[in-house]
Structure 1
Amino acid sequence: MLASSILSAGLFGTPASAQPLYPTPDPDPFYHAPAELAGISPGDVIRTRKIDSGPYVGTEAWQIAFRSTNSARNPIIGVTTVLLPVGVRNPPLVSYQALINSLGTQCNPSRSLFNGELQDAPGAMLPIGRGWAISIPDYLGPTVAYGAAELSGMITLDSVRAVRKAAELGLSNSPVALAGYSGGGMASAWAGALQPGYAPDVPLTAVVAGGIPADLEEMALGLGFAPHPGFGLAFAAAMGLEREYPERLPVSDQLNSDGLRFRELTRNACRRSLLVDGAFRSAEQMAASKSLLDSPAAHAVLRENSLRYLPETPTAPTYFWHGRSDNLALFEPVAEVADRYCKAGVPLTFRPFDIAEHMTTAVAGFGDAWNYVESRFRGDPVPTSC
């Protein structure tokens, strides 16, 4: 779930003094940015290392640190984890944007692939089973800016650049597909749309994305003040966006004492803890005021991170799937994006499902999505539902 509580919590009343609360940095020097980061181009490799592939039998694993860019266009360090199928030469490459939905650095895929926190870790093995290499980037960046869609798109594209540049992996000429669901679908869809302008040097064979939270503003307005079972994730998205836009979204300034305590409790939390600790809490309990829709800055940031309002469109073959009655990510904004893409000539296949539960749609749609990717890797004619 990527609904933000920024607007619905009424967080722009009388200012206080709280500052954004960032996660505890990963102590491993591999994750640390070099002093000369600003002089490195986006997607350039900073360092690589081979790691134990752990539970991912039949693979060898690498991690790559690379230079990327945040929403303020400042240089940042990024990390991705690559699983290579043993015995397969020149495999195609899938950049899989996993479900992160978290605030702690230990929740990023480079850690959560191996510590049991990554919800869709088993899904990472499906491309491996087809003989493909898979790259799983930490697309929320070093500050784990949950909800920051533009950031996630840029990091995703830079991670692909880095994987193709890392000579140890031998993937410089591999065809590339992007894939993900929910928050991972948002990152994949944004990367697909940004690619022609941000990374024209990254050729994309396919983009598949499902359950996309395509309008954060509408989701925020729909959250309301009543207790909600997913409030912990909504609160986390507010904190994540504040981390990425500290001057434009001073969310913490408007938290009351309960909100500040909950912020401290969750600053390093992963998805499961956020859901448990935040279940049936509410914005009313956490906010110092109830002034709704008072901040043009909040609206602007939410729209800037909503695919519905992103003017750029992809050129790569694209496959979207979404539940018509999705209980978390609204269907209408995605349908609107699909219509706009069709009118712009995007080679799009859009498949709605008559399903309401968000994660059920992921299971229902991923099989066809992987078949779509395989067909693109084979060079079959590109279908369209436009």
Structure 2
Amino acid sequence: MSSKAQRRVRKFGVAAVAVVVMLAGPAIVSSNPAGAAPSLPQVDEFYQPPVGFESAAPGAILRSRPIELIVPLPAQAWQLLYRTTDVFDQPDVTVTTVFLPDNVRPDRPLVSQEMFEDASGPQCVPSYGLRAGAQSSTETMGQLKDLQSILANGWVVSVPDFGGRFGHFPVGREPGYMTLDGIRAATQFAPLGLGPETRIGLFGYSGGGFATGWTVELQPSYAPELNIVGAAYGGPGPDINAALFTTNGGPFSAIVGSGLSSYYTTYPEVEAAMRPHLTPEGVAVMEQLQTQCLSSTLPQQFFSDWKRYFDIPLDQVLALPPLADVINQARLGTHAPTAPLYVFQAVQDEVIPVGSTDRMVDDLCARGVRVTYVREQLAEHMTPILSGFSAAFSWLGERLNTDTPAPDGCSTTTVLSQFVTPK
């Protein structure tokens, strides 16, 4: 068997495991009786911006409602519609789902958990997937184990729809704006009992890590009043260009489609540059992917080479000036957070090249940021979802539960596996 064929077989196995993990979700089942699904976000009035919302301050709560969760969790839950800022620096609205754990700590730390979505379909947002009866909750269900662990610590939680109403993925700045404003909304929501001094932590992986990175990088300029004491995130996709090249033609080719279709729909100048080079099939796929979640796109685009949808090679598509510009605008590591960071990354990652995260950490360290960086040798993209969260939560707990300061400077450690490495 050729080395190329061996690589394809290896990737196929990893992708199969990834899909199983994503579709299976955590080892918990819903106790809710079968019934009508909640209204989809695009037709649910709760998600719609009220008249005059633009005059509200970023983070202002516009609506709230208690919700029944898709699985039993030891917490009360509500959803908040709040005013925020979009990718064009214009007023917008989005939703966060907030949780008050039954065993809440007296000092009530808050964690913002950025759940990866990696798609533009309006039904793919966490706020929909978390509700009892939701029919498109696959991605959200796959991340409930982390939510359970956060709640078990007695931490209040905010899970923002950081992709907004239009599923912008993976754009620069907007995920940070929407996450920070979700935190602002949570701290203003009286039932949670939070306030200006609340210690705040951030957590996310993959597409959620991308959002976490933007959140902590923008916080000093956009929301300096928030007491963010640490951010733990992994596989963050700091260089979208590298991620698109890496995944194209492989088991995660759906990421290429999700990203390109989002840019195509979000930016008129990108559509104008790309459309002349799209085949008729390519135009149809761009429009189709805007309505789907990642769990639908993954099997459709398994091992798909996206050059089939264009009349020029993919590298020339990505070099089209409007597209290259917005991809460059999404690069992480270009702003200096004041909060300390814990970053973890699989060395064998077949979605996010380890070199791109290495460079992001180097860029942040050069800006004086405190970074604890852990690289996992025997891991690929999906592995750290299970292997990495324990050490990440332990580090985050030191920031949230104690006065233990984060280490000064930067450190990089490469371990064989976080499953077996002592924490």
Q: Separation in 2 of the partners of 1:292 and 1:26?
A: 31
2:240 is aligned to 216
Partner of 1:94: 111
TM-score by length of 1: 0.88
The CA deviation at 1:87 is 4.5
What SS class does the counterpart of residue 200 from structure 1 fall into?
coil
Structure 1 pair 295/61, CA: closer, same or farther in 2 (3 Å)?
Answer: same
Pick aligned residue for 1:66 from 76, 79, 82: 82
Shift of 1:252: 4.6
Q: How does 1:263-282 map to 2 (within 5 A)?
A: 263-282=286-305
Q: Is the 8 A contact 2:160 2:179 kept in 1?
A: yes
Of the three residues 29, 36, 40, the one matched with 2:45 is 29
Q: Tell whether 2:211 aligns with 1:194.
A: no
Do structure 1's residue 184 and structure 2's residue 208 form an aligned pair?
Answer: yes
CA contact (8 A) 2:246 2:352 kept: no
Q: 1:234: which partner in 2?
A: 256
TM superposition shift of 1:318? 0.9
Quickly say closer, same or farther: Cα 1:355–1:153, change in 2 above 3 A.
farther
What residue number does 1:79 align with? 95
Question: Which residue of the other structure, out of 329, 347, 351, is the alignment partner of 2:352?
Answer: 329
1:153 aligns with 2:176: yes
Q: Which whole-Å CA distance do the structure 1 matches of 2:128 and 2:265 have between them? A: 20
**Counterpart-to-counterpart distance in 2, 1:199 and 1:223:** 34
Q: CA deviation at 1:43?
A: 1.1
SS in structure 2 at match of 1:197: helix
**DSSP 3-state at the match of 2:292:** coil
- Aligned partners of 1:286 and 1:293: how far apart in 2? 13
SS of residue in 1 equivalent to 2:255: helix
In structure 2, list runs of 5 or more residues that go unmatched. Answer: 1-39, 412-423
Aligned pairs (5 A) from 1:111-150: 111-114=128-131, 115=134, 116-117=137-138, 118=140, 119-150=142-173
Greater relative contact order, per chain length (Cα 8 Å cut-off, separation 6+): 1
Aligned to 1:348: 371
- Cα RMSD for the two superposed structures: 1.9
- Per-residue CA deviation, residues 127-180 of structure 1 (Å, 9 max, x unaligned), is 001111111100101101121132111111111111111223212242110110
CA contact (8 A) 1:95 1:160 kept: yes
* Corresponding position: 1:244 with 2:244: no
Identity %: 29
Q: 1:260 aligned to 2:283? A: yes
Letter in 1 for 2:155: W
Select the residue among 297, 322, 336 that pairs with 1:297: 322
Is the contact made by 1:355 and 1:361 (CA closer than 8 Å) also made in structure 2? no
The two structures have a TM-score, normalised by structure 2, of: 0.80
In 1, Cα distance between equivalents of 2:68 and 2:247? 42
SS in 1 for 2:228: coil
| Structure 1 counterpart of 2:69 | 53
Offset of residue 263 of structure 1: 3.0
For 1:220 and 1:350, the matched residues in 2 are separated by 23
Which ranges of structure 1 fall in alignment gaps of 5 or more residues?
Answer: 1-23
How far, CA to CA, are the matches of 2:56 and 2:93 in structure 1?
A: 10
- Identify which range, 134-143 or 358-367, moves more after superposition: 358-367
Deviates most, 331-340 or 174-183? 331-340
Question: Tell me, what secondary structure is at the counterpart of 1:363?
Answer: helix
Bigger mean CA offset, 213-222 vs 103-112:
213-222
Q: Does residue 1:105 correspond to 2:130, yes or no?
A: no
Count of residues paired in the alignment? 359
TM superposition shift of 1:205: 1.1
How far 1:343 moved relative to its partner?
2.8
| CA 1:294–1:303: 2 relative to 1, 3 Å | closer
The Cα offsets for residues 187-209 of structure 1, whole Å up to 9 and x where unpaired, read as 00111011101111112011111
Quick one: distance in 2 between partners of 1:382 and 1:258? 51
One-letter amino acid of the structure 1 residue matched with residue 98 of structure 2: V
Amino acid corresponding to residue 259 of structure 2 in structure 1: A
Aligned residue type for 2:322: A
Q: Does the CA contact (< 8 Å) of 1:95 and 1:178 recur in 2?
A: yes
Distance in structure 2 (CA, Å) of the matches to 1:60 and 1:253:
51
| Structure 1 residue 249 displacement after superposition | 4.5
Q: Which amino acid aligns with 2:148?
A: M
- Separation of aligned partners in 2, 1:30 and 1:259: 34
Separation (CA, whole Å) in 2 of partners of 1:253 and 1:239? 15
Measured in 2, the distance between the counterparts of 1:297 and 1:271 equals 25
Whole-angstrom CA distance in 2 between matches of 1:324 and 1:104: 31
